[in-house]
Amino acid sequence: MKVGYIDCLPNLAGKYLIDSLNKEYNWQSEFTLSEKKNFSSKNIDLKSLRINDFSFTNDFFDFECIDYLLKYEKNFLSWVEDSSGFNFSYNQRIQYYYDLLKFWYQKLKKNKVDLIVSFGWPHTTGDYSLYLLSKHYFKIPFIYINPFPYFDLNLFSVNCDLHNMSLPYANKFEEIKNKNIDLPDELKSYLNTMQNEKAEKPKFTKNFLNTYEKEDINFFTRLFIDFLKLSLRGKLFNKNYIYFKKNRLELNVKNQMNNFDYIRFQITKFFKNRNNINYYNKLVQKDKNEYLKDQYVLFAAGYQPEAMSNIFQGKFENYIMILEQLDQLIPDDWYVYYKEHPAHFLKTGKGFLGRNKNYYNRIKSLKKIKFLSNDLNTYDLIDKSKFVVTSGGTIGWEALIRKKRVMVFGDIWYKNCEGVTCVENLNQINEFLKNFNINDKIDTNIAKAYALSIYKNSIKLNYDLFRDDFNYSCTKFQDDLKALSKEIFHSFKKFYN
């Protein structure tokens, strides 16, 4: 079988996975898509696609394919990487998108494949365009490894649809939800921890935040050292493979950031993020005891720009639209508590591209919105809320475990769990509020059954291939290769046979 592979891993594990799948199942690589040098002899350079350094022939391009993808076009255009939010015009974005579609159209016509496998979410402009065209126009089977590690375990699943993340678990949940649940000890331990007062953020989230917090502390020292090193080596104006468009000129290699541009960009990020943080903190209600007196709905925002919070959420990547509807529809004596994602309080992150003063002012103008301090305990807020609202956030899962109902806008992996109301239109919000009763508690067995359905349809690895350091020759990694190859193969059979 001829296979196209997308490499989203931060290491070389993908090369070993391709070799393993070829050896075990005769999945022959027709092409690979990776940013890594010498990844394979048939590799397409993902870096080149992201900076518009690619070409296509004058062969035909059936622009009918654009119509098949209209549902996803807006999210793609908003996802294009821009260092200020104003450097990429609409016309430039749409032309770049069409050029990528033409490139992949011709590639898939010439290099016909039976399957495309992605080691992670295809979430950059170069690989997401391939996903959209191959799956929704050419109808080529597509599977990917979900990089989200469930339940603080190295537990990963394989899926075939980026916009239906609950798909692998739905049938198993329906099968077991009304049965007596016998949980594995490690799953039982996780759920017990998340239900008690000492519940904490997932490990991978804490590690992510800790890494950036350290960068915040040493930011100017590190930047000055980088500047000196690059200057002394004569590399200060060498090209830097950072994909945020630096100016309003055409996206190409010539207008790509160099190392000096990137240093300036990092300084801009730092001060813009700091300004956002300071402004948000001014909006926060200072007396924390006042929070306890209100009846409220909890809205915990996601980190933006981020794949889970943007391209996977469709129209609901726009939080203002959600908050304005809630402000109009909830009872007059309720509030919507808005809690910003902790990553937006990192000065070296990219949060300034998803937030600014205008965004917060628009929310501030709503009568029933109150801004919450980042210091407040999220789990206490869940427990005291009427219900929780999210678009792409894991907070909804944490709420279900703690017996709270959840209103979900967009897509998320737990959306098929009972206790979740998935909203697509205004009537569904009205219906939810009409039937809402604070005394209707979620059956604890429901969350257990859903957790078990994920556990049964995932694979536990020795290593987190997306975050851990490991030796490629060690026995544990070799065991992971065999197990993951087998899981990928059986998932393909499950979804497409």
| Domain spans, the chain | 2-145+461-496, 203-393
- The type of residue at 216 is D
**Are 138 and 115 within 8 A, CB to CB?**
no
**Residue 56 binned pLDDT confidence (cut-offs 50, 70, 90):** confident
Mean pLDDT of 317-336: 96
Whole-number Å distance between alpha carbons of 465 and 487:
15
Q: How many CA atoms lie within 13 A of 324 on its CB side?
A: 10
**Which two three-digit tokens encode residue 48?**
């080149």
- The type of residue at 338 is Y
Percent of the chain with pLDDT over 90: 80
**Residue 445 binned pLDDT confidence (cut-offs 50, 70, 90):** confident
The per-residue DSSP string of 67-98 comes to HHTHHHHHHHHHHS-BSSSSSS-HHHHHHHHH
Q: Can you tell me whether residue 313 is helix, strand or coil?
A: coil
- Give me the pLDDT at residue 6, please: 98
List Cα–Cα distances, 244 to 41, 101, 116, in angstroms.
28, 20, 27
Would you give the distance in Å from CA 335 to the centre of its chain? 28
Whole-number Å distance between alpha carbons of 38 and 11:
13
List Cα–Cα distances, 319 to 303, 309, 359, 427, in angstroms.
11, 10, 10, 18
- Phi, psi angle pair for 44, to nearest 5°: -100, 125
Inform me whether the pLDDT recorded for 432 exceeds 80. Answer: yes
**Which two three-digit tokens encode residue 341?**
């994602």
- Give me the pLDDT at residue 327, please: 96
**Are 131 and 461 within 8 A, CB to CB?**
no
pTM of the model: 0.94
Q: Please tell me the total number of residues recorded for the chain in this structure.
A: 497
**Are 143 and 160 within 8 A, CB to CB?**
yes
List pLDDT tens digits, range 368-414: 999 999 989 999 999 999 999 999 999 999 999 999 999 999 999 99
Whole-number Å distance between alpha carbons of 74 and 77:
5
- Give me the pLDDT at residue 285, please: 77
- The type of residue at 343 is A
Q: How far apart are the first and last CA of the chain?
A: 15
